[in-house]
């Protein structure tokens, strides 16, 4: 899968200068070059119309507009980029799209909205290099709100995740600002947990001690959101959770059934060895009549039910009908390669298709 924006992201990275300790905004080396990159991203939007391509190109244009100090245009493009990423549903798109919108909101001074998006951008099946960049700017956002202890924790985590010179520069700049401010501002409140920073994004499962049935609590745990009515549940991931009465399906946060309760199981093995009860990047491995397939978050069948094993990968699925011949499938269930001799061969093929959005946030 070609990355239609990699060269543009690289160009923006070259134009990104030091972080100003007074404004917490990066200097720009050459505004005319940034303008050319923005214009090229606009031209490519007419040629590349798939949602993933649109998300990456709008992300580039958002960063360019922010560097040019056109913040309203940057916010509009960042929202469009995130909307396209949500349609695709993969963490490789969602994380940078969330982070870029958060960055615009941070520069505009809308810190509470920004920090929630930064927190959400940390999670998912994404490389630590990206996590490090997200946490570095989340630390800046915390420092701007005088949450100094929290900022220091995030800077430390950022450098542990990604010790690149650019990340070190952001952390060191933030720490220098904090050191100067400590005599007057102090360390601020205690660091918040991830759910607190993320705005309690997901209801929590609970089991009724009398009936033994499962339901969900509101995000802050203060009241019942969904009454205990299920024999088994999985965690909320991406706004939906796998639930079981007599059969498995899925509900959204309002309790609406979004995937019919008709499957024998909704357990998704991943290439990392974990098995998630429910959905990974908006899809779940489902069992029906002794065979496995994949269903999406709206209930649409993405991979038909004729496999013995299906393993979720960031770029698709590894599947076999007999454990002797393996296939690599796309996220939409289309054959990328069949008759592969081993599971590892299919995994290597899908690994080679991974596109990491490694440009500036």
Give pLDDT, residue 293: 97
Which residues share a beta bridge with 280?
283
Give pLDDT, residue 222: 55
CATH number listed for the domain at residues 204-351: 2.40.128
Asked if the model's pLDDT at residue 358 lies above 90, the reply is: no
Angle at 234 between CA 247 and CA 323, to 5 degrees: 70
How many percent of the chain have pLDDT more than 90?
Answer: 76
Query: What 3-state DSSP class applies to 82?
Result: helix
Q: pLDDT grade, residue 1 (50/70/90)?
A: low
User: 278 φ, ψ to 5°?
Assistant: 120, -135
Q: Which CATH number fits domain 6-197: 3.30.70.2190, 1.10.1740.10, 1.25.40.10, 3.30.420.40?
A: 1.25.40.10
Looking from the CA of 283 toward its CB, the CA atoms found within 13 Å total: 29
Mean pLDDT of 52-71: 97
Distance separating alpha carbons of residues 211 and 36, to the nearest angstrom: 64
Distance separating alpha carbons of residues 111 and 122, to the nearest angstrom: 17
pLDDT digit string (tens) for 6-16?
999 999 999 99
Residue 60 makes CB contacts below 8 A (sequence gap 6+) with 5, 8, 9, 12, 37, 38, 41, 359
DSSP annotation of 270 reads: B
Helix runs in 163-245, H state only = 165-185, 194-197
Range with the poorest average pLDDT among 69-78, 194-203, 300-309: 194-203
Report the chain's mean pLDDT, rounded to a whole number: 92
Rounded to two decimals, the pTM is 0.83
pLDDT digit string (tens) for 205-232?
889 999 999 999 876 655 556 778 999 9
Give pLDDT, residue 201: 79
Mean pLDDT of 229-258: 92
Q: What are the percentages of helix, strand and coil residues in the chain, rounded to 5? A: 45, 25, 30
DSSP annotation of 322 reads: S
**Ranges of each domain in the chain:** 6-197, 204-351
Give pLDDT, residue 224: 59
Query: What 3-state DSSP class applies to 204?
Result: strand
């Amino acid at each position: 899968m070609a990355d239609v924006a990699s060269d543009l992201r690289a160009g923006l990275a070259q134009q990104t200068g030091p972080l100003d300790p007074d404004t917490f905004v990066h200097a720009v080396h050459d505004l005319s070059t940034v303008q050319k990159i923005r214009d090229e991203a606009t031209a490519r939007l007419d040629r590349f119309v798939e949602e993933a391509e649109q998300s990456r190109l709008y992300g580039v244009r958002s960063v360019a507009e922010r560097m040019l100090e056109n913040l309203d245009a940057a916010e509009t493009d960042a929202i469009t980029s995130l909307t396209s990423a949500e349609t695709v549903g993969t963490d490789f798109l969602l994380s940078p799209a969330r982070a870029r919108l958060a960055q615009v909101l941070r520069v505009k001074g809308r810190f509470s909205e920004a920090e929630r998006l930064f927190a959400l951008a940390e999670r998912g099946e994404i490389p630590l290099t990206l996590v490090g960049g997200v946490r570095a700017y989340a630390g800046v956002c915390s420092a701007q709100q005088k949450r100094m202890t929290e900022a220091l924790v995030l800077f430390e985590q950022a450098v542990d995740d990604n010790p690149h010179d650019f990340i070190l520069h952001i952390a060191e700049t933030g720490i220098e600002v904090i050191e100067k401010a400590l005599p007057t501002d102090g360390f601020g409140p205690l660091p918040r947990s991830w759910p607190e920073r993320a705005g309690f994004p997901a209801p929590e499962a609970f089991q009724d001690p009398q009936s033994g049935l499962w339901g969900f609590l509101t995000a802050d745990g203060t009241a019942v959101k969904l009454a205990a009515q299920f024999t088994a549940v999985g965690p909320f991931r991406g706004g939906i959770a796998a639930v079981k009465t007599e059969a498995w399906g899925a509900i959204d946060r309002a309790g609406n059934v979004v995937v019919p309760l008709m499957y024998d199981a909704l357990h998704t093995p991943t290439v990392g060895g974990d098995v998630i009860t429910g959905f990974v990047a908006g899809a779940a491995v489902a069992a029906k009549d002794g065979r496995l397939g994949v269903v999406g978050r709206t209930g649409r069948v993405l991979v038909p039910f004729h496999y013995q094993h299906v393993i979720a990968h960031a770029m698709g699925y590894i599947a076999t009908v007999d454990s002797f011949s393996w296939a690599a499938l796309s996220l939409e269930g289309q054959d990328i390669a069949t008759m592969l001799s081993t599971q590892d061969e299919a995994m290597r093929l899908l690994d080679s298709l991974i596109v990491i959005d490694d440009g500036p946030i």
